[in-house]
Amino acid sequence: MGSETESARRLLTGWGRTAPSAAEVIRPATTEALVSALSRRPARGVIARGLGRSYGDVAQNGGGTVLDMTGLDAIHAFDPDQGTITVAAGCSLAALLDRVVAAGWFLPVTPGTRFVTVGGAIACDVHGKNHHRDGSFGEHVTALTLLTASGDMLDLTPEGTPDEFWATVGGLGLTGIVISATIQLLRVDSSAIRVDTERTADLAETFAKLRASDDTYRYSVAWLDCAAAGRLGRGIAIQGDHATRDEVDSVPPVPGLKPRISSPRWLSLAPILRSPAISILNEVHFRRARTAAGQIEAIEPFFYPLDAVGDWNRMYGRGGFLQYQFVVPLDREDVVHTALELLHRERIRSTLAVLKRFGPGSRAPLSFPMLGWTLALDIALPAPRAARVLAAIDEHVAESGGRVYLAKDSRLRQELVDVMNPRLPEWNTVRRRLDPDGVFQQDLARRLGLTGASP
Ligand SMILES: Cc1cc2nc3c(=O)[nH]c(=O)nc-3n(C[C@H](O)[C@H](O)[C@H](O)COP(=O)(O)OP(=O)(O)OC[C@H]3O[C@@H](n4cnc5c(N)ncnc54)[C@H](O)[C@@H]3O)c2cc1C
């Protein structure tokens, strides 16, 4: 794409490539062009879009306007002493990392891909493998500038303007357009990660492992084998922290151990695999994993294994796929167990399943993470029984006091949204103040009645 503002009618989907909808997509090259595009106030509204890495329809606006923010991606200021960086919202985490890692800084929170924008990371208040220790992305944003529906530029901070700031963090782009943000980075001694890996025999042991040792590590997740009958939820706990320079120098590569990656190696093939093959490859991956302590890994394979495979989402074919992620309170491990049982019984094989323990949620009313267990599952479509089974799991999640991650959703039942998001009215009060005429609209909000409008 060039530097000029571009505009075209396009069919958009999320990363899961389901539920396409057509919108006028404008990619402003300047803030002035962005303000001008917003001032047109099209009847079906406007929504910002980053790199389209949300799995569902949260960055779509069928029949309306979508403002592609990736043309506004400048790095405005970087202070290598204090570790603060101010960027335009369309700046990707990849570009940000390119700038800061060599200076001894890292992202305070990163999702499983670096190809997301700072605006998208704020709007979904994304979490990473360190949520139990460091919280979500928005908790490390010290200031942001929001373009509101009326064309005002508001400078928001967590302390100075808490209502507007926290409604925007996790606010799915519905409070306005984030123009720029300042982030407090994490000081690191090296660009490598020291990783411990341990196999677990079943789900109970996976829970026990994460519960016992999570706090020792900054980063912690478990890959789960959802296909092994009788041993559902056995897995591989992957835990680590940034390595010191001495550790990088002193730890030689372990003989016979190839560098471990956080996801199964066959994952890049997963989209074209069906149930029996997935079961076999889960088995192989589990058996090959060895208990290993203190392995030194680079940032990319540890945090972003899927980024190595460009456009891997297309390998799922025309049906696309969905990623289903929920969180339940810590004392409701039974819901995770039930979810795995239900999926297994109906032969719905997840190509990737990851379990993590979250720490307390942020102050943002619509933020997804909360103290509890989160399970994320990739499911290839079409999967005939998936809709019914996931709907049943939704009920268990809602009953437990948990919720489904809206940034990844494409199928939740509207009735459950209020139950799962008890602070939705509080968020809507602030949102209405910022956008009284409902200029910011999107497919997800319409589908789920998020802003009170009928779907
Ligand atoms: C491989 C992979 C791994 C992932 N891992 C994780 C993970 O570990 N943790 C996690 O939390 N998420 C994860 N995600 C999801 C992803 O991090 C989020 O969906 C993120 O919001 C995507 O950012 P984006 O720039 O692509 O935004 P989009 O998907 O384009 O948009 C997402 C939302 O942000 C809004 N938005 C975008 N830019 C702006 C702006 N400038 N102002 C206001 N609103 C804006 C949009 O309106 C939309 O509501 C993963 C996704 C993939 C594909």
User: 6-15 burial string, b = 16+ CB within 10 Å, else e?
Assistant: eeeeeebbbb
DSSP state of 313: G
Q: What is the mean pLDDT of the chain?
A: 91
Q: Between β-strands 153-156 and 141-147, what pairing exists: parallel, antiparallel or unpaired? A: antiparallel
With a cut of 80, say whether residue 264 has pLDDT above it: no
The CA distance from 68 to 330, in Å, is 38
DSSP state of 101: G
pLDDT digits (tens, 9 = 90+) for 91-110: 999 999 999 999 999 999 99
Question: Which position has the token pair 């992305």?
Answer: 137
Please report how the helices 333-345 and 386-400 are oriented relative to each other, as an axis angle in degrees rounded to 10: 170
With a cut of 80, say whether residue 291 has pLDDT above it: no
Question: Which position has the token pair 């967590």?
Answer: 158
With a cut of 60, say whether residue 413 has pLDDT above it: yes
With a cut of 90, say whether residue 283 has pLDDT above it: no
CA of 83 relative to ligand 1 center, distance in Å? 23
pLDDT at 263 (0 to 100): 52
Nearest to 47 by CA among 337, 438, 389, 416: 438
Residue 266: band (very low, low, confident or very high) from pLDDT cuts 50, 70, 90: low
pLDDT at 284 (0 to 100): 64
What CA–CA distances, in Å, run from 257 to 92, 201, 289, 295? 33, 21, 10, 9
Report which residue type is found at 421: N
Chain centre distance of CA 152:
29
pLDDT at 366 (0 to 100): 98
What residues line ligand 1, using a CB cutoff of 6 Å? Answer: 15, 47-54, 58-59, 69, 89, 111-113, 116-117, 119-121, 123-124, 126-128, 172-173, 177-178, 306, 407
With a cut of 60, say whether residue 269 has pLDDT above it: no
The CA distance from 285 to 261, in Å, is 11
CA of 24 relative to ligand 1 center, distance in Å? 20
What is the position in ligand 1's atom list of the atom closest to the CA of 123? 34
With a cut of 80, say whether residue 350 has pLDDT above it: yes
The CA distance from 246 to 227, in Å, is 40
Please report how the helices 203-213 and 333-345 are oriented relative to each other, as an axis angle in degrees rounded to 10: 150
With a cut of 50, say whether residue 261 has pLDDT above it: no
pLDDT at 258 (0 to 100): 40
pLDDT at 277 (0 to 100): 63
- What tokens does 312 get? 């891997």
Residue nearest atom 4 in ligand 1 by C-alpha distance: 112
CA of 60 relative to ligand 1 center, distance in Å? 12
With a cut of 50, say whether residue 255 has pLDDT above it: no
C-beta neighbour count of 262 within 10 angstroms = 24
Chain centre distance of CA 431:
22
- What tokens does 257 get? 């151990």
CA of 52 relative to ligand 1 center, distance in Å? 7
Residue 455: band (very low, low, confident or very high) from pLDDT cuts 50, 70, 90: very low
Residue 288: band (very low, low, confident or very high) from pLDDT cuts 50, 70, 90: low
pLDDT at 349 (0 to 100): 84
What is the position in ligand 1's atom list of the atom closest to the CA of 126? 11
Residue nearest atom 44 in ligand 1 by C-alpha distance: 173
81 exposure class (CB count in 10 Å sphere: 0-12, 13-18, 19+)? exposed
C-beta neighbour count of 103 within 10 angstroms = 15
pLDDT at 316 (0 to 100): 87
Percent of the chain with pLDDT over 70: 90
Q: What are phi and psi of 432, to 5 degrees?
A: -65, -35
CA of 49 relative to ligand 1 center, distance in Å? 9
Percent of the chain with pLDDT over 90: 78
3-state SS, residue 455? coil
pLDDT digits (tens, 9 = 90+) for 39-92: 998 889 999 999 999 999 999 999 999 999 999 999 999 999 999 999 999 999
The CA distance from 237 to 222, in Å, is 4
Worst-scoring range by mean pLDDT, 284-288, 299-303, 386-390?
284-288
The residue among 374 and 349 whose pLDDT is bigger is: 374
Q: What is the mean pLDDT of residues 174-200?
A: 96
- What tokens does 107 get? 């992202």
CB 65 within 8 A of CB 49: no
Q: What is the mean pLDDT of residues 180-204?
A: 96
pLDDT at 259 (0 to 100): 39
CB within 8 Å of 274: residues ≥ 6 apart: 349, 380
Worst-scoring range by mean pLDDT, 63-77, 243-257, 325-339, 366-380?
243-257
Residue 449: band (very low, low, confident or very high) from pLDDT cuts 50, 70, 90: very high
Q: What is the mean pLDDT of residues 414-437?
A: 97
pLDDT at 197 (0 to 100): 95
DSSP string, 185-239: PEE-S-SEEEEEEEEESSHHHHHHHHHHHGGG-SEEEEEE-SS-TTSTT-EEEEE
Sign of the four-CA dihedral 279, 283, 288, 294 = positive
The residue among 282 and 254 whose pLDDT is bigger is: 282
Residue nearest atom 37 in ligand 1 by C-alpha distance: 120
Q: What is the mean pLDDT of residues 432-439?
A: 97
What is the position in ligand 1's atom list of the atom closest to the CA of 176? 43
The residue among 314 and 126 whose pLDDT is bigger is: 126
Domains of the chain: 6-69 (3.30.43.10), 71-188 (3.30.465.10), 203-239+265-292+308-417 (3.30.70.2520)
Report which residue type is found at 407: A
- What tokens does 122 get? 């704020």
Q: What is the mean pLDDT of residues 404-419?
A: 96
3-state SS, residue 312? helix
